[in-house]
Structure 1
Amino acid sequence: MIVKRLSQKLGLVMSVLLCPMMGTNTTLAKEFLPTDINHNSSIIEEPTNLGMNAITPVSELSDVSADDWAFQALRSLIDRYGCVTGYPNNTYRGNQALTRYEFAAGLKACLDHIYQQNVNSTTNSVSANDLETLQRLQQDFAVELSTLTERLYNLETSTTQLESQQFSTTSELEGEVIFALSGVQGTERADGSGEPIDDNLTFGNRVRLTLETSFTGKDRLQIRLQGRSIPEFQDATGTQMANLGFDGNDDNKVEIDELEYRFLVTPQTQVSLGTVGIGLGDLIPTVNPLFSGSGDGSISTFGRENPIRRQGEGAGIGISQDLGESVNLALGYVAIDANEADNGILGNDTYAAIAQLTWQPHEVASLSFTYARSSNSFNTGTGSELTSDPFNRDAEDVMANSFAAEASIRVNPEFILGGRIGLIQAQAKDLPDQPNANILTWAMVLALPDFGKEDSLAGIIIGQPPKILDNELGTDFEDRDTALHLEAFYRFPLNDDIAITPGVFVITNPEHNDDNNTIYVGTIRVTLTF
């Protein structure tokens, strides 16, 4: 008779709290609970028939400390019945105060556990004193338990809906849209034509859709579609030094822009294979990644990365090997037009290969040394016209050896200094005496992450676009002066999905010729991600 009466009382307690929509999981994660309650009673819906005098006592809104009766009672129940497990840092056994919702989560888990024990047992294992304790706790925290039940039900409903509507269990679809309002200012074009610079404002866009798939959890297949209509300012200014870092005009024709598959051979070895849109820079790490993104980094082509990484794009293969915790060796090979029968991969006379050793002895410092060898693909798209063709259009077989070093140091979390230098030694193999030309580039960068707002970035770049220092073909094929690239931009996030980046860069002595007037390039880049 006593056992029956205790079971009835316990059932009455449970019937108030439990409902079919709730499961019996006793490891409810704390992050799903409202931990930022500001003790404002307006968040609790009072029954409409209580009147103005039914004011919730302050004691019912305050946190539950370890000294409170309720806290000690629940801890005692946990010790006897083992009804709460999996909470971080032994939440309900420590001395840290809990919000009323955190406490209610533990109480709910304990009630579920005890209820299931008695449902699955022929005898009642709950004492009369514990039953009374449960009744009192349930009454004192009735509002929180009810709110918690409703929120968990809504969460489970949303999760079920997401699972039924998800694109794929192994694939993710991501998108990026760039809108750019851009313009250029100057007097005359830098190509010696004497024509004025086209200084009209332009408004263009670039759209990318990326499908990422993993088959094993340790690999990634990336297929990227792209359509764009952003003019290259080389056409308006007479120099490729003025090009934006996200330009390109395909009349918004959508095509596969990148196709790559990466997988781990061992935990320290990664292999990359790509047939479309693979550049040398995609196969090696970068020491200054805050500037390298076309949608969220530098606004100029020159500012994004060391120009020697821009020698060639096509089908490629790369291997990244960790040599310990702080050293990485990356190798890459890119063949241009490898899908054509008369070119292929290994027999192709237009290719580029790269090797880079990256050293990161500490989280605040990184250093890399790079070597690249290219055949008929050393044009970086960032220097003077002579650097694109230093041998007067007479050479059809040009080999180049490139050397570079890059460094970055985080002075503090909001102040990062970086620098890079690159040297390209080009040789015309099919000209008499096989003349050489040496091309130099360098840059200093300053990054200010979280400048003014979290996830923002202020960036400053000062550098020299690729310049021919000397040329054995003759002094007429050397850059006689020095151009400087001066850039500043500020990426300001409106929210997690939208960022606005106003920026400007200045080219002094364009084409490394002080007879040319300074060129100014400005843009407002709006990047939407989804």
Structure 2
Amino acid sequence: MKLLKQLLVAPAALGLLAPMAASAAEINLDGVNQYASDEQVTSISQFPDVQPTDWAYQALANLIERYGCVAGYPDGTFKGQRAMTRFEAAALLNACLDRVTEVTDELKRLMAEFERELAILKGRVDGLEAKVGELEANQFSTTTKLRGEASFILGGTPDFESPLRNSDGTRAAKPNEVTFNYDLRLSFDTSFTGKDLLRTRLRSGNFSSLPFGSSSQIFKLDKAESTDDSVEIDRLFYRFPVGESFRVTVGALVRNTEMLSFIPSAYNSSILDFFQLAGASGTYNKGTGAGFGVSWRQQVEKGNPYVTFDANYVSENGYDDSSVGAFTEESGINFLTQLGVKSKNWGAAVAYRYGSEGSNIRVPNFSPRTVGSGGDTNSIAFGAYWQPIDAGWVPSISAGYGYNWGDGGFRDSQSWMAGLQWSDVFLEGSTAGFAVGMPPFTSSGETESWLYELFYKFQVTDNISITPALFYASDYRNNRGNDTWGGVIQTTFKF
């Protein structure tokens, strides 16, 4: 038995040696595989006297599965606790060596047959290693990745009347011509631990305020910003985890909505800005400036619904003038919190935002939009969505509602939206959708305007998409109270 243990433990024998037979008087050495010849041993479970708790169980199982050179007694047992003679050991080792020899010969034959293909693969691997070495020697950074997004937007609003007036009191020219604008975003994402994120984003755009570039307009596009063709830093923040459940974000240029765990909507056209904010643009006002935030996520088993809670603080004006502190009322404070529950294909949330003097509340179609001196605002939002797990004729459904109130001359208002979106329309990856809603309107109804959007996003490749869209607004205050419509063709490149 001592010899058996040595053979099984030895590295060479683990790949060759298999069963223990009986004593020399009980076994026929010329037919050591007698049991196997009657019934081929293909699984260790065929030996009723071998248990998983036996010390050599795994070694025996490997020999059966990999080499098939294990035999037992005619009665079907293995008798692993019995001693064996040197003759028996020699016979059993010879059986396994025969199998190993067969495998080795087969490998030699295959290597000879595919010698040319193996040489080509070796050459390719050597070439790849050389290229990887060159990339590593010349790479931009070992910790930073560049992510880019460029959008070309062709669009116009044929019968839009400008609300602006010239110095002589006459109405300014109508912004009704077709224009071709761009929006460019370059994000440098750096990670030092694999779980944190330092983001520096550069942005450039050439949109005018009317009709697509100003957040005071209900036709404000999600990707329409103006930097006068110059490149600006519009994000600079650091995000890192604290334990398993918390995430902290702090930055000199950070946006409040981007510090939330999610926005409760599955509608994503990337066209009209209002429909990207769950129908509550007052609450989800995209306040950007110096700030910080904390997010908490409930730890549950994968696939189960979980609860989230977010709280963040952004000072819109407290970073560009040292005479105004980031923690003073006149710095344009935005304090945003959200409590939500999210699952694989649905989610819901309630959110609250406080805005101090100087903050922008993002209520297109009426004024004021910036909180005046000594004033403040409050906004609350409710949103929910559901989407099918598999793409089909059933669309995702999103709905949201927002209410705003305050003082200092600010009027109470409310807003809402509902959106349907289909996945894999005509082509895999392409989507289509329709949304309807009312941007913020006062209780008196003087600023009521119905807004509609219809879009189709054609996913040309993984990195290129083309999105034609049409939108319509009734009784648009900034169009002298008349109905108006517009359309765009938005081409986006991601790299």
| Counterpart for residue 316 of structure 1 | 291
The TM-score normalised by the length of structure 2 is 0.71
Aligned match for 2:432, one of 428, 449, 458: 458
Q: In 2 relative to 1, CA 258–522 (structure 1 residues): closer, same or farther, beyond 3 Å? A: same
When Rg is computed on C-alpha atoms for both structures, the one with the higher figure is 2
SS in 1 for 2:482: coil
Kindly indicate whether residue 410 of structure 2 is the aligned counterpart of residue 416 of structure 1.
no
**Residue equivalent to 2:334:** 352
Across the two proteins, how many residue pairs are aligned to each other?
A: 386
Partner of 2:412: 438
Superposed CA deviations along residues 405-448 of structure 1, whole A, max 9, x for unmatched, are 110101343321111100011112xxxxxx77321010011122
Taking a change above 3 Å as real, the CA distance of residues 195 and 210 of structure 1, as seen in their structure-2 partners, is closer
Q: Which of residues 96, 101, 109 in structure 2 aligns to 1:136?
A: 109
How many Å apart are 1:504 and its aligned residue? 1.7
- The within-5 A match list for 1:50-449 is 129-186=102-159, 188-189=161-162, 197-234=174-211, 240-276=217-253, 278-288=254-264, 291=267, 297-305=269-277, 306-307=280-281, 308-310=283-285, 312-325=287-300, 326-339=306-319, 340-349=321-330, 350-360=332-342, 362-377=343-358, 379-386=360-367, 388=369, 396-414=373-391, 415-428=395-408, 437-449=411-423
Deviation sequence 1:442-500 (CA, Å, 0-9, x none): 0011122222222222222211001111xxxxxxxx44252011011222222222221
Task: Return the alpha-carbon distance in structure 2 between the equivalents of residues 289 and 143 of structure 1.
Answer: 56
Q: Please report how far the alpha carbon of residue 236 of structure 1 lies from its aligned counterpart in structure 2 after TM superposition.
A: 10
Equivalent-residue separation in structure 2 for 1:237 and 1:156 (angstroms): 51
Q: Which amino acid aligns with 1:178?
A: S
- Distance change (3 Å), C-alpha of 1:187 and 1:328: closer
Q: Which amino acid aligns with 1:168?
A: S
Q: Give distance in 1, aligned partners of 2:348 and 2:99.
A: 65
CA contact (8 A) 2:354 2:377 kept: yes
Describe the shift of the 1:159–1:146 C-alpha distance in structure 2 as closer, same or farther (beyond 3 A): same
Match runs of 1:12-51 below 5 Å: none
| Distance in 2, Cα, partners of 1:132 & 1:388 | 82
| Cα distance in structure 1, aligned partners of 2:337 and 2:215 | 33
1:490 to 445, 451, 456: 456
Q: State the 1:388 CA deviation.
A: 2.3
Question: Cα gap change, 1:427/1:286 in structure 2, threshold over 3 Å: closer, same or farther?
Answer: same
Give the letter aligned to residue 257 of structure 2: G
**Deviation for aligned residue 1:279:** 2.5
CA contact (8 A) 1:197 1:237 kept: no
Q: Report the Cα distance in structure 2 between the residues aligned to 1:345 and 1:239, rounded to whole angstroms.
A: 25
| Shift in alpha-carbon separation, 1:145–1:290, aligned structure 2, 3 A | farther
Distance change in 2, residues 1:211/1:285 (3 Å): same
C-alpha distance after superposition, 1:353-380 (max 9, x if no partner): 01101101x3111001101111135644
Q: CA shift at 1:196, angstroms? A: 6.2
Q: Does residue 1:520 correspond to 2:485, yes or no?
A: yes
Instruction: Pick which of 278-287 and 497-506 moved more.
Output: 278-287
Considering only aligned residues, what root-mean-square deviation do their CA atoms show, in Å?
Answer: 3.1
**Aligned residues of 1:232 and 1:244 also touching (Cα < 8 A):** no
Does the C-alpha gap of structure 1 residues 188 and 146 become closer, same or farther in structure 2, counting only changes over 3 Å?
same
Cα pair 1:190 1:238 within 8 Å, conserved: no
Residue 24 of structure 2 corresponds to none
1:67-97 deviations in whole A, cap 9, x for unaligned?
Answer: xxxxx9xxxxxxxxxxxxxxxxxxx97xxxx
Give the aligned residue type for 2:295: S
Q: Deviations over 1:142-184 (max 9, x none)?
A: 4543444344334334433332332211111122211111111
SS at match of 2:132: helix
| Shift in CA distance, 464/379, structure 1 to aligned 2, threshold 3 Å | farther
- Would the aligned equivalents of 1:207 and 1:228 in 2 still touch at CA under 8 Å? yes
Summarize the Cα distance change of 1:127–1:174 in structure 2 as closer, same or farther, 3 Å threshold.
closer
Normalised by the length of structure 1, the TM-score is 0.66
Alpha-carbon distance in structure 2 between the residues aligned to 1:354 and 1:482 = 26
CA separation in 2, counterparts of 1:143 and 1:363?
49
Q: Distance in 1 between matches of 2:285 and 2:213?
A: 22
- Structure 1 residue 335: Cα displacement: 0.7
Alignment deviations for residues 20-40 of structure 1 (CA, whole Å, 9 cap, x no partner)? xxxxxxxxxxxxxxxxxxxxx
Q: Secondary structure at the match of 1:241?
A: coil
Tell me which residue corresponds to 1:39: none
What is the deviation of 1:223?
0.5
Q: Compute the displacement of 1:511 (Å).
A: 2.2
Q: Deviations over 1:190-242 (max 9, x none)?
A: 57976663211111112222111111222110001111102232489996112
Task: Give the aligned partner of residue 115 of structure 1.
Answer: none
Q: Contact 1:206–1:229 (CA<8 Å) still a contact in 2? A: yes
